[in-house]
Structures are given as structure tokens and as C-alpha cells.
Structure 1
Amino acid sequence: MGTLLVALQFGLLIMLAALAAPNVLHGDIPAGALMMAGISVALIAWALIHNRPGNFNIYPEPKFRGVLVTTGPYRWIRHPMYTSLLLGAAALAWTCNTFIGWGTWSMLAIVLFMKSTLEEQGMRKQHPGYAAYTLRSKRFLPWLF
């Protein structure tokens, strides 16, 4: 199931990039979309600074010797990498500004929700403190979701 979700994630991201490409090539990128893309990149960088190399995985299974990270953006968000993907993908959907683009973004959000659910099952098994961590953090959006 994890491999299928990763394949869907990348396929949907490629589709969004292809849909936005004509507008990007013509320099027709809304200022809000640029700002959203910048926030996405900043969040990825912040998450990578706090996560150890080799500790994260594109598949929704925790690494065998992985360490539970609860600092930086992980203090408030359990899946900041997924949040940054959703922000970057929203910037692409906004740039292409079509029903197909926003539909693709919605499908990506569902895939990432499913992927995070699968990942959290594994994290609960591997890290005894994970259940308590879920009570003081949110899945994607601080203080909301």
C-alpha cells in the first residue's frame, strides 16, 4: 500500500507541474502562489534542519533505527514535509487555475492523508512516546489539523 501511495503522490505532483508549466513558462505566476511556494521551501528547509539525515523516508514506514523528532516544525506539526508538499502543490494549482488543477491537488491531499495515517500506525508501534506526541501536535496545520 505504501508503494502505491508514493507512486500516486509523485504522479499527482507531476500532473500539477505539467498543468502549471505553460503559465510558468510565460511568467504568469500569481504573487500569492509565489509566496506559497516560498513558504513551502522554507518549511522543507526547517524540517530538514531538525531531522537527521537518513531518519526520514519517502515511504510511509518508519526507518528501523529512526528517531522521533519533536523539535522545530515537528513541535507543532507531525508531518511538515507533507504540509510543505501541499503548500507547493497548491501554488501549482493556483498557477494553472483550473478545475483539473484543484481536483488534482484535492486528490494529492487525500493521498497524503492516507499516507500519514499509515505512517502514524508504524510510528505508534516503533516509538512508545508517539501517542502522547500526537496529543500535543497536529497532523498538518498547527493548532488546526
Structure 2
Amino acid sequence: MQKQMESKTKSNILVGLQMTCIILLLVMIPMWEVGYIALIVATGGFFLGCWAVVSMKLDNLSVRPDVRQNARLVKSGPYRVIRHPMYTAVLLTLTPLIVDHPSTYGIIVWIVLLLTLLYKLNYEERLLKNHFEGYASYMLKSWRIIPYIY
């Protein structure tokens, strides 16, 4: 029971930090001044996120890294190639906006977001490996967040 409580606390902290960074970045970037290329890449990230949500299905979706008892391992749609396409979508949506409108504060928040997502990703993968028998073999056939790189 204690371990489960610690896990939920850790998950809540990670999600809270992630959401805070996303909101801060979206608020601090003047969207009306974003260049076309940044906007096109960010829009691609948004649609990747939508595709990931549709592939995951709402009843299986969670922003928390904890694995529900009735969770299903999804290996279709973008999950065929990328194990964490929603993380990819967040980075693909926000990175071009920061590159287009760099600021010290924005870059610091983006780095905190990146580190949070990487920590959350590693934590989530440990939980998924323990929950799903086939997750280790799925890891060998897919990329974490960036195909052919990571």
C-alpha cells in the first residue's frame, strides 16, 4: 500500500511538472508572431498527438505513467514505430515555437520539460515492462520518442 501511494505521488508530481511547463511555454510564446515553418512543424506535432490518442483509445488513455490493471498494450498507429508518440508530439509541438521565439526563461522551461519527459518515460517503461509480458520484445522493435535516433 505504501509503495502504491509513493508511486501515485511520483506520478502526480511528474504530470504536474509536465503540465506546468507546457502551459508556461504556451502562455509565454506570442502565437501571432510564430513563423510559418515553426507553425507547420508544431501543427504536425499536434496531429501526431491526436493520432496517438485515437490509436490508444480513450478508455486506455492516461497522462499518468501508472499502468492500470485493465490497460492494453497498444502497438498500432504511431505506436508501431514510436513507444511514446504523445511525448514526441509534445516536443514536436513546442520545440519549433521555442526555436522561433527563443528566450532564456523559455529555454529553461523547455529543458525542465524535456528532463521531466525523459524521467517520466524511463519510469513508465519500467512499469510497462513489469505489467506486460511482451513489452521487452516490443522495445526491441520500436523507438522511444525519435525514430532512428532514440
Segment of structure 1 superposing worse, 67-76 or 36-45: 36-45
The equivalent residue for 1:10 is 19
- Partner amino acid for 2:45? S
Give the superposition deviation at 1:125: 1.1
Q: Give unmatched runs, 5+ long, in structure 2.
A: 1-9
Number of the residue aligned with 2:38: 33
What TM-score comes out, normalization by structure 1 length?
0.91
Which ranges of 4 or more aligned residues in structure 1 deviate by more than 2 Å? none
Kindly report the root-mean-square deviation, in angstroms, between the aligned alpha carbons of the 2 structures: 1.3
- CA offset at residue 18 of structure 1? 2.0
Tell me the equivalent position of 2:72: 67
Identity of aligned residues (%): 32
- Measured against aligned partners, the alpha-carbon deviations of 1:3-42 in whole angstroms (never above 9, x if no partner) come to 111111011111111210xx22xx2111121012111111
> 2:95, 2:124 → 1: CA distance?
23
Matches within 5 A, 1:49-128: 49-128=54-133
Secondary structure, counterpart of 2:89 in structure 1: helix
Rounded to whole Å, the distance in 1 between the matches of 2:134 and 2:25 is 37
Secondary structure of 2:86's aligned partner: helix
Matched length: 141
| 1:111 partner SS | helix
